Structure 1
Amino acid sequence: MTPATSFASAAPAKPLPQTAGAFEVSFTPDKTRVRHMRTITTAFLRKWDMGGPQADYIVLAVSELVTNAVQHGYGEIGLRVRYAAGELRIEVSDGNPKPAERRSADDDDESGRGMFIVDFFSNDWGVSEDGTTTWAAFRAPAGRS
């Protein structure tokens, strides 16, 4: 796959009920992709009529998880965002078996707060058993299922 074709192939992993929504993209690890993933996520949240502070928190979590994958992952990165049954779930896969972890950053540290931010704004977060996927869950905004 070339960088030009690997940017965004939006496709749900399996058929979803009409009351649900999802998108999935795979891309090469490049720091410019973080902005692209925020833009794509924002567009889908608007399409799903999700806005306000909760949408901002979701986009922030995407930004932090994708940044971690770009900085620490191995090979192609995958982003999946889906909502169903009152929950919106973000999953970022990066090929690195070392799981993401929340850590403490000193006041003068320029990085190291990403998982703290995800933990603070999401309802729950975790890492797959193999360590290669980090996820965060949010309650779907009112009116969403």
Structure 2
Amino acid sequence: MQQSIGSGFAVAFTPDECRVSDMRKITAAYLKLWRVPESTAENVILAVSELVTNGIRHGHGDVGLKAVCADGGLRIEVTDGNPNPAQLAQAEDDDLSGRGLFLVAVLAHNWGVSDDGHTTWCVFRLSSGRN
């Protein structure tokens, strides 16, 4: 179910890996609507992909994606019902996974986890030239 919320959106979905692509497409459409510069949009879409994948793999029940564009920033939140907070992992060179949150930390202005551990979020700064 998709719902518009001011300058944002919220989507809830069952945890299925095929939904990652859907969430990237929904996010890309809104980023275009909000006139987010392409280079920033690419980073946001990568962060959405990583956070949604983590929510699907490690969550408990349905997963939620929320994006809010306001005050020169874009906040992405993924809620997965897992009370164990997401943590940066130290992936080895030959590991096939474990770099998602590291990528989010590098690409976003800031990131964190809600006090209850259920939501992982990140914030991107947007240029002041965006309408």
Q: Return the TM-score normalized by structure 1.
A: 0.87
What does residue 113 of structure 1 align with?
99
Determine whether 1:59 maps to 2:45. yes
Using the alignment, how far apart are the partners of 2:77 and 2:48 within structure 1?
9
Using the alignment, how far apart are the partners of 1:32 and 1:143 within structure 2?
35
Determine whether 1:141 maps to 2:119. no
Picking from 9, 18, 35, the partner of 2:2 is: 9
Q: Which has the higher contact order (CA 8 A, sep 6+)?
A: 2
* Structure 2, unaligned runs of 5 or more: none
| Count, aligned residues | 131
Give a deviation string over 1:92-118, Cα, whole Å, max 9, x none.
000000000111100100000000000
Question: Counterparts in 2 of 1:24-39, with a 5 A limit?
Answer: 24-39=10-25
1:124, CA displacement in angstroms? 0.3
Using the alignment, how far apart are the partners of 1:111 and 1:23 within structure 2?
28
What does residue 5 of structure 1 align with?
none
Question: Counterparts in 2 of 1:40-79, with a 5 A limit?
Answer: 40-79=26-65
Determine whether 1:93 maps to 2:76. no
Aligned Cα root-mean-square deviation (Å): 1.1
Matching residue's letter, 1:124: N
Give a deviation string over 1:62-111, Cα, whole Å, max 9, x none.
00000000000010111000110011000000000000011110010000
> Conserved in 2, the CA contact under 8 Å of 1:80 and 1:90?
yes
* Structure 1, unaligned runs of 5 or more: 1-7
Give a deviation string over 1:40-74, Cα, whole Å, max 9, x none.
00011011111321110000000000000000001
SS of the aligned residue for 2:48 comes to: helix
Matching residue's letter, 1:97: P
